[in-house]
Structures are given as structure tokens and as C-alpha cells.
Amino acid sequence: MAKAHRFGVEPITCHAWNKEQTQLAISPNNDEVHIYGLSAGAWIKEHTLSEHTQRVTGIDWAPQSNRIVTCGVDRNAYVWTFNGSKWEPVLVILRINRAATCVKWSPLENKFATGSGARLVSVCYYESENNWWVSKHIKKPIRSTVTCLDWHPNNYLLACGSSDFKARVYSAYVKEAEKKPAANEWGSKLTFAAILGEYSNGGGGWVHSVCFSATGTKLAWVGHDSSISVVDAANNSLIVTVKTNYLPFSSCLWVGESSLVVAGFDNLPLLFKCTAGGITFVNKIDIPKKTGGGSMTAMKRFQQLDNKGRDTEDSKVATLHQNAIRQLTMHSGSKASCAKFASGGNDGQIVVWDIRSLESQIAGLRVS
């Protein structure tokens, strides 16, 4: 059902997979990116990307071009290309005066978007004459830090969430890099930076993650108020929201057209069904196990406190992740039919979850 991989004790700020899932890029909460290769069932560190001077906040790995894009608190982003022996960076002209917070390749990999604390999104495309990536800015009406991004499957629309409690959908059409798009269910005004939708769940919570569905008609987002929201552009932009009793969520991922996985400070992924009728809880993907702490004798507990200075039995978390989950990523399959997804957490672990083992719970939720 799940396989855990440990990469030290530092929190994993962000991670990304290559196309074949044989390599993994992670940032252990510092200014480096470590690239691991899978060899004989074990992860071996092969490369270290060290161009950033402050903490790395975002990584994305383009599956077709095999390029990695990274961004960081140093207000920089780099596009990395493998030359056969090492990864070489190309500078990105972000033109921001605050930390970069997140980064995401577009589906066709001809551009990427970077969010920042400067209350804007930099949409970047390659300029071959100067061998660098230049950017165009999406600004209005963002009023606070951009915390998350996701691309529509058509390569033209971009969703962003921010700490002003809003999720927004923009046109990210760059005429210098692509053909003019046609109208779609989100709107017909598709000039660059045109806002096609601004959404709120009616409460107050930073938006930590946004995600388009496989067809692109639905947008899901999760907030720090422990809420899950979905807007359906094909159904008159109907918004459904549920306020849960769980701790805040930090990431969400579609694993079917009506199936959404969310995770956060409860240390485990949760599966929800999202339809026009509402959002309903399906199951916990990681079932917490009893630690057995109640069976420890008073003498043994005292000995542990005396020898180790802490009660190791009581401090052990019952879930597979021992701390908050920071990010969910697709491992195998697609948003239309996910086979496996991965979670990275503050406990230094990457856990790969086999969603197929939950077919009995999610049968009938997917749209063929």
C-alpha cells in the first residue's frame, strides 16, 4: 500500500520526480537540491545543485525535456539541464524583490510560472538570443504572497492561490512563445494576465495548494482553515466547500475526475469525493496504528525517561509520516487515473502510496 524512503532528519521542503521515477530531486530545507538515483532498490545521491544562496522553496522536473526548474528565498530561479555528466544552470530573469515561493512547468514545457512574496506571478519563457529565461508579470488583483500554482491542461490557463484567502484563474498566454488560444469553459478573454475567475470559500484561510482536474473543468484548493473547495467551470462556476475537523491542509491532488487526495498537519493523506452535490470524506489512506504505549509498565517508562530523557513510546506518532506532510506529487499515472502518488514531509521522508490498493474505496468515483 505504501513505501517510505528516508532522506535524513531534515524536513523535505519540496521534491520532484523524473519521468521514469528512477530519479528524485529533493531540497532538505536549505539552499541545495539533492538528486538521488534508484539503484538496487536503494536511493543513492548522485548530484548536488548548489547555485542558490538561500533556502530552495520550489522544484519541478519536466518529464519530456528532462529539465529541472528551481526557485528560492534568494529571489532567483534556475533551469537545470543535464549535459551527460552534470547539471548546468541557466539564469532566469524573474524581476522580483521578494522571495520566490513556488514554481511549476506548463504541460508543454515551453514556459513555467513562479510565485513570490512580491504579490505577483512571473510567467517565464526562453529567449534563445541571450540564452536565458525572461518573464512577464501577473499582478492584479493579488494582494499578498502567492503560495501555490497549477497549470490547466491546455497550457494557457494558470491557477494561483495566495495568503489573501483567494484562489484565482488567469490567462498565461505568451504570444512570444505560442499560438493564440481558443475560448474555453473558463472564459474567452485570454490576453496575458486577464483574470478569468476569483474564488473564495467565504472564510479566512491562506490558500496552500491549488490543483486543476484532468479535464481542466474543475479547480480544487485547500486552506489553512482546514477547508476543501472545488469550483466547476462547466457547471456555471459552482463552488462547493467543506470545513473539516482536521488540522490545516498543505497540499491537494486529483487522483480521478471526482477523487481528491489532501494532506497536511495530520501527517496522513485523506481521500475525498467531489461532485456538484458536495465534498464527502471517503477514507484515510494511511490508517493510524496503535503504538501500544498503554501497555508499558511504570518501571520501564521510568527507565526510558532516566536513560534517554524522554518517553520514546509516547512520542512516537501512529501514522507512517512522523510529522506534517508538505507536498503531494504524482508518481505514476495521471490526474485522470492515478496509480501512485508521493508525499514529502517534515520528517525527512518521501512516501509512495499505491492508490490501486484502495480500489474498493474509490471504485465508481472516477470518470471514464
pLDDT one-digit tens code per residue, 55-70 = 999 999 999 999 999 9
- Whether 180 and 233 have beta carbons less than 8 Å apart is answered as no
d(CA 283, CA 327): 19
Distance from C-alpha of 55 to C-alpha of 214, rounded to nearest angstrom:
32
Residue 149 has, within 13 A of its CA and on its CB side, a CA count of 30
Residues of the chain under the 70 pLDDT cut: 288-316, 358-368
Q: Where are the domains of the chain?
A: 2-292+325-362, 293-320
C-alpha cell at 300: 520501564
Angle CA 121–87–115, to nearest 5: 10
Strand order in the sheet with 77-82: 56-61, 68-72, 77-82, 87-91
Give pLDDT tens digits for 316-339. Answer: 678 999 999 999 999 999 999 999
Q: Which pLDDT does position 368 carry in this prediction?
A: 31
Q: Which CATH entry fits the domain spanning 2-292+325-362: 2.120.10.80, 1.10.3720.10, 2.130.10.10, 3.40.718.10?
A: 2.130.10.10
